[in-house]
Amino acid sequence: MSNASSLAAVTSLTLDGLAQLSEHRWIFFFVFFALYVFVLVSDVLVIYVICSQRSLHRPMFVLVAAVLLNSLSGSAALYPRLLSDLASGLRRVEVPGPVCVGQAFMVGSAGSSSFLLLAAMALDRYVSICRPLRYAALMSRAALAALLLLCFLLPAALVGGAALQAARLPLCRTRLRRLYCDVYSFVSLSCGGGAALLLQVYGLLCSAATMLAPVIFVLVTYGRILYICLRGSRTTSSSKALKTCAPHLLVLMNYSLSVGVELLQRRVHGEGEPAASILSSVLGLVVPTVGNPLVYGLKVKEILTHLKRLLRIS
How far, in Å, CA of 140 to CA of 267, rounded?
43
Decide the pairing of beta strands 175-176 and 12-15. Answer: parallel
Q: Give the separation between CA 70 and CA 148, rounded to whole angstroms.
A: 11
CA distance 126 to 138: 11
User: Is 0.85 surpassed by the pTM of this model?
Assistant: yes
- What is the model's pLDDT at position 243? 72
Can you give the pLDDT at residue 241?
62
Q: Residue 14: in which H helix or E strand, if any?
A: strand 12-15
Residues 6+ apart with CB under 8 A from 264: 280
What is the C-alpha separation between 218 and 143, in angstroms, rounded? 19
pLDDT score recorded for residue 302: 81
Residues 160/212, Cβ–Cβ less than 8 Å? no
Rounded to 5°, the CA angle 228-56-310 comes to 130
DSSP characters for 16-32?
A: -GGGGTGGGHHHHHHHH
Sheet with strand 12-15: strands edge to edge: 93-96, 12-15, 175-176
Q: In whole angstroms, what is the distance from residue 48 CA to residue 29 CA?
A: 28
* Domains of the chain with CATH codes: 11-149+174-180+213-311 (1.20.1070.10)
pLDDT in the model for residue 158: 94
Asked whether the beta carbons of 112 and 153 are under 8 A apart, the reply is no
Nearest Cα residue to 72 out of 27, 22, 37, 34: 37
What does each of the 314 residues of the chain score in pLDDT, given as a tens digit?
445 555 555 567 888 878 777 788 899 899 999 999 999 999 999 999 999 988 889 998 999 999 999 999 989 988 998 898 888 887 888 888 888 888 889 989 998 999 999 999 999 989 988 888 889 899 999 999 999 999 999 999 999 999 888 888 877 888 887 888 888 877 778 776 777 888 888 888 998 899 899 999 999 998 888 888 777 655 555 566 667 777 878 888 878 877 777 767 665 655 555 566 677 777 777 888 888 888 887 677 788 888 888 877 65
d(CA 45, CA 307): 8
- Which of helix, strand or coil describes residue 192? coil
190 touches 28 (CB < 8 A): no
> What pLDDT score does 276 carry?
63
